[in-house]
Amino acid sequence: MGRSTAVIGTFIALWAGLVVQGQCHTPFFIFGDSLLDAGNNQYFNSGTPKSSLPYGETFFKRPSGRSCDGRIVADFLAEYANLPLIRPYLEPGFSNYSDGANFASAGAGILPETNPRMIHLKMQLSYFEEVQKKLKQQEGEQKAQELLSKAVYLFSMGGNDYMNVGMPKFGNTMPPVVLTASYKKQYVTIVLSNLTSVVKKVYAMGGRKFIFQTVGPLGCMPVSRYMFIYILFTVMFFNAVETLGFKEGRTACCGSGNFNGQFTCGKNGTAYNLCSDPSQYVWFDAAHPTESANKHLTSLFWSGPLKVVWPYNAKALFQMP
């Protein structure tokens, strides 16, 4: 099971304090890209298109702003933690942050230049700084700091930064640019340095419990298969797909072209394929998992063994004082 999670990502939990029995109220703050965006891009004035069906059809029965047919990992984690679904920070009228806030933005990168039109990580940090100020106004200095210290902070970002380097633009089937080993190392260092800088600032503001989702299997996404037409899935992954009950791990449920790897899902005036049962698929569209895949992944993050999540699972973090 632990080996199979290399395909869909793993969480690393960094913690401080002692694990205690029982569940207490723990706010949940979310930083990330399309894997965690619960609707911010719908309200962000960037000219991005609003989501449309079939996105959201499995659970919400309407477009929810999520790049999924239903719920995402952040939604399932909130449910496990006895919290309501964490609302996107930019949702009109949203001002009660005692349960947390979601700052994630589809298409965003850790580096601002990865996609300047979206809410990059440093801008998400600025939104969190606004939340801190508002919490102090609403709850008072001491109570606000207690909430921030109890809170769990989820980060899932970096995929867009790495996809944008040496890769052709989506829809262009030319081979990727060959990058030198030294350049790759330097670029990774820059990305990680920028991520670390933001995490340190959240820590300085009171954050103590952090969850990191590793970058997913970029070469295994349907969009990568569509662009490069080669196979990166391993036999181990095929075995995992069957073991976990999925019938299709290569082709997306919704899209067009080879492996449904084109981002045409839900686009008005564009023809696309749509499967009859997304729960049988790992991928919903060219780059995003189905609700079913997210649900399984979250169950591992919540109570998985050390070989899956390290050094503690998400349940332990949410139960810490």
Residue 104: both structure tokens together? 């994630």
Q: Would residue 34 show up in a list of annotated catalytic residues for this protein?
A: yes
Marked catalytic residue, from 67, 75, 285, 296: 285
CA distance linking residue 313 with residue 53, whole number of Å: 34
**Residue 161 corresponds to which amino acid?**
D
Phi/psi for 272 (5° steps) reads -150, 160
Side chain identity, residue 280? Q
Using alpha carbons, select from 294, 263, 310 the residue that is nearest to residue 80: 294
**197 a catalytic residue:** no
- The catalytic residue among 67, 75, 120, 288 is 288
The radius of gyration computed from the CA coordinates of the chain, to the nearest angstrom, equals 19
Instruction: Verify whether residue 69 is a known catalytic residue.
Output: no
Is the previous residue joined to 54 through a cis bond, with omega within 30 degrees of 0?
yes
Given 33, 34, 224, 296, which residue is catalytic?
A: 34
Q: Which residues contact 227 (CB under 8 A, 6 or more apart)?
A: 167, 168, 170, 172, 173, 261
- Residue numbers annotated as active site: 34, 285, 288
